A and B are shown apart, each in its own frame.
Chain A
């Protein structure tokens, strides 16, 4: 075969391939076609074998034609594949779905509102150096009353109607026994909060026979009522996220002297609505009973009441949670209604 024949034939193969690949639309077909020409047994490769009949002087010329045809085939394949890819991409982008179908969700779990508030309040007090102390829910009359300057027969015992297990063992009506246990087990300074479940014989929209108390105690040299006020300001401003005020009113609890009621400014009307449903127009909401630890209590735990002073308070976690989240009946917190639990 002459060199020119060979050139003509290979040129021809190039043209045929171009025509053949043109209508193809699948990657595999294109690659098959490429193999039929350029593969080991492909037509171009077979034709290459004729090179040995071409006189040596002309081989270079023929070889360059082969190379041109082979690379034009390879280029055509690459272009074709690129083109296919573009089409694929375009058609993928043309895809649409119904975005209004519901999302795929697992079951939703929630922490109980009281737990959330508990965690939050513990953190708020932690910021100003209070540690958490805990104790048993069933405790002795001594820890719950006697050591708090409420001997048997004291009229203030009526303030908490208590559940009894035996004459001397009760369901704690407050977490004050934790304060007593803390003080009998360590020397001052003491800086604790005592959150925990407590029990009282009480049942109405604002009272549950079981609820969660948060008490606190700070005993050190030179602690005054003004420090208690500062601590409450910190709590309510952090908890409600508003610049609320705190007000003290004189009160009486056997275990503190002076004793105070702590009112916070109404977070709903900011003391600005005479018809406010929450504070009943007074501008203030009672949130805690507190005061300076009575020397009689220090005597029970063997602290030097001349050297040390301290303050203590007690408040219901439910109350501040209900105020913030607009919960209108404390029962909701303890009925386990899934429709309630999922709201927080």
Chain B
């Protein structure tokens, strides 16, 4: 909400004068956050109001104008090219030599004295566009006596505050208004707050058009709107000109129609145009501008119909029928639904209630008689329709939040008076009103002790009551309970319905910054365990040299397709976001790798070739048992490029780098348990020959020992990485964290006291025999060794396939086996016997094995 300082200021009598910034600070501290304080009309200087005292033709197109800028002052010549130079006595805006004006592109330029066709011209007479005030380039600004807000047209000349009086120079606050304070969506509401905060009074209301008018002092003021009897046409009676019917009392508690006759359409006065521009509206015509002005004054939206276009002079407020259509002011034809609240005339819809008027009943230049609607609409219905049609107006913004139904008549009267004054018309006497659902003031009880407890500030009942009464709340002490007061709240404060709401007002006015700091006395017994696996995984992966990254929970269809998953794969049917902002966010990820690949591609595009990233995060799968998702936590890593080398290249990253990372991760979770890696060519996003499943030892419910596949590691399939334009091999893994057992406290095993003995085995064997198989064979032989002797370590020292050294179809291997006893030092012969048993078994059981 944009608030004009002069407008605000004229609504209140302050106890002491206030700088606009002080007012802004006070409002901000009270929860009406002033986001900015702008000055309008400060992008030019050296411009004054001047009176034309002489005017003669200089050339065909130029006029020689004589100006004075103070009563009786010296005449000065200015050449003017506009064709609307007023006769002597007219007032214009004169940029004197040395004046600085805003240029068309935001640059600034200085006005100089120059000779035009033989005459020295001292400066320039300004148009709206030259001052950056508006877009009217038709001619120079010629001031009219209605342009001055409080009269005194001729005293403008020589007044140093003339530009302020014209509304050309002012300050504007941009205030963030919370959804529960629609009462502050007008200048009156802000003025009321400011008066309560800094000390002051709203000025009393001073206009009426009927003898029965009840003056509501809390509703706000304005000495400018004296409704003189001469504005009312006693021959015309509103009741005989229009009828009003509310068919939906739930949707429309109150409707007031008034008629203003014999108006002539024209521009509104400069001060009003300037204020409307300042609040962010474009001036249109006096009729439209008045409704907007009153809306920003009271926070009450209004609508002006062309009376001649309202069929049968009848207004009905009702819900739409199916298949009805209405073309709104913005020239869009809307199809209506039965839920939409309409204003209808004798023929059909003429406006979307509270949101926007209809095209056909719009006021135009030919309008002579105005039917002015001032109504109150129920918030949720307006909101539903505005959202469905995606049609949001200043009016719907206010009605959605709730407008005080007891402000309706004030706004209606103010608008009529303004219409009559500015449009030169007359107000038909009386009004036609339907007030079908009366909203009364509420009384709410509040305990001072509760306020003190909830805020941490000690309040007595008296103190709390005094604070509340500053807001126009009527406070009465409870006769029986010295702690309790009863607060009767004005109807514009729709947010005050409960004790806590009043407590908020008490602390707000006391000053939220005065709340002291204490530490809570509450203590709780610890009961929540956090899954330690994500942080364990991160620790292991950081230790392996990978950088953690975080990618979005969403992904794109294209990335999902890059995985080449079978249609029957659960992960190929993701959860879809109904209203994504971009196609990259259309679906929820079912694996982490696609988003990681996208980040790898992004790094590569910046020339970074050596990348090692990991992520620990949730993936999302449609649940079979709930309308929510399954959200298992995955851990994924990806490496590409070259290893760190020292004084030489470290070599290209390959499968065994990523496997080393996974092994490190496994140690973190499995302690001394051994996971199982098995070649797997069935993973569609992995290279069929460079991929392994990773399985974790597990125990079935029946106690059976088994392995559970936690995920896969391997080289990303070339067809997958092509989707990301990645042209170098990438190695990756993705595992489900839930497959790992919850880590338990590691248990110490005794440090060996006796020496170990290491023996090697060197042999040729068939190429196809996997190392894991051989390792398993050696280890299992170790389990059958006699005595306390055990195989402590099996290590593959060499694996070579050089045809010069190895028979065809074979590979050479050098295994190193470490024997140890926990009880004593092993003798040579013991070790020799054991080792030859191992060798014998290897040579007899491994395909094609022969001693080397």
Counting chain A CB atoms within 10 Å of each CB, the highest count among B179, B455, B501, B530 belongs to: B179
Q: Which of A189, A199, A224, A336 contacts B453 (CB 8 A)?
A: A224
A28 in contact (CB, < 8 A): no
Verify A166–B578 contact, CB threshold 8 A: yes
Cα distance A235–B385 in the bound complex, in angstroms:
44
**Shortest distance between the CB of B389 and any CB in chain A (Å):** 15
Verify A334–B455 contact, CB threshold 8 A: no
A46 in contact (CB, < 8 A): no
Verify A155–B579 contact, CB threshold 8 A: no
Segment from A7-15, A19-27, A111-119, A266-274 that makes contact with B: A111-119
Q: Which of A164, A222, A295, A335 contacts B602 (CB 8 A)?
A: A335
Cα distance A230–B522 in the bound complex, in angstroms:
13
**Shortest distance between the CB of A202 and any CB in chain B (Å):** 9
Instruction: Given A136-B628, A197-B553, check contact A109 B541 (CB 8 Å).
Output: yes
A249 in contact (CB, < 8 A): yes
Instruction: Given A132-B530, A191-B524, A248-B512, check contact A137 B620 (CB 8 Å).
Output: yes
**Shortest distance between the CB of B334 and any CB in chain A (Å):** 20
Chain B residues near A247 (CB, 8 Å)? 513
* Cβ proximity bits B164-176 to A, threshold 8 Å, 1 near / 0 not: 0000000000000
B728 in contact (CB, < 8 A): no
Chain A residues near B629 (CB, 8 Å)? 136-138
* Cβ proximity bits A135-160 to B, threshold 8 Å, 1 near / 0 not: 01111100000000000011110110
B844 in contact (CB, < 8 A): no
Cα distance A218–B581 in the bound complex, in angstroms:
35
**Shortest distance between the CB of B621 and any CB in chain A (Å):** 10
B752 in contact (CB, < 8 A): no
Counting chain A CB atoms within 10 Å of each CB, the highest count among B508, B524, B530, B600 belongs to: B524
Q: Which of A107, A159, A223, A227 contacts B612 (CB 8 A)?
A: A107
Cα distance A251–B580 in the bound complex, in angstroms:
30
B520 in contact (CB, < 8 A): yes
CB under 8 Å from chain A, chain B span 31-75: 31, 33
Residue of A nearest to B647 (CB): A101
Verify B550–A294 contact, CB threshold 8 A: no
CB under 8 Å from chain B, chain A span 204-254: 209-210, 218, 220, 222-227, 229-231, 233-234, 246-252, 254
Verify B516–A191 contact, CB threshold 8 A: no
Verify A201–B608 contact, CB threshold 8 A: no
Cα distance A154–B383 in the bound complex, in angstroms:
9
Q: Which of B554, B612, B618 contacts A109 (CB 8 A)?
A: B612
A292 in contact (CB, < 8 A): yes
Instruction: Given A189-B522, A189-B524, A248-B513, check contact A309 B599 (CB 8 Å).
Output: no
**Shortest distance between the CB of A262 and any CB in chain B (Å):** 10
B552 in contact (CB, < 8 A): yes
Known: A111-B548, A136-B628. 15 other contacts (CB 8 A): A108-B547, A109-B612, A134-B530, A156-B180, A163-B577, A164-B579, A166-B578, A166-B627, A168-B627, A171-B577, A191-B524, A192-B528, A218-B522, A234-B519, A250-B512
Residues of A at the B interface (CB closer than 8 Å) are 101-102, 104-112, 114-115, 119, 128-129, 131-134, 136-140, 153-156, 158-159, 163-166, 168-169, 171, 189-192, 197, 199, 201, 203, 209-210, 218, 220, 222-227, 229-231, 233-234, 246-252, 254, 257-261, 292, 294-295, 309, 333-339, 341-342
A-B contact pairs, 27 of them (CB 8 A): A102-B646, A107-B546, A109-B548, A110-B548, A111-B538, A112-B547, A115-B548, A129-B524, A132-B530, A137-B620, A137-B629, A140-B627, A153-B380, A155-B383, A169-B627, A197-B617, A209-B581, A223-B522, A230-B519, A254-B179, A257-B501, A258-B507, A336-B599, A336-B602, A336-B613, A337-B606, A339-B606
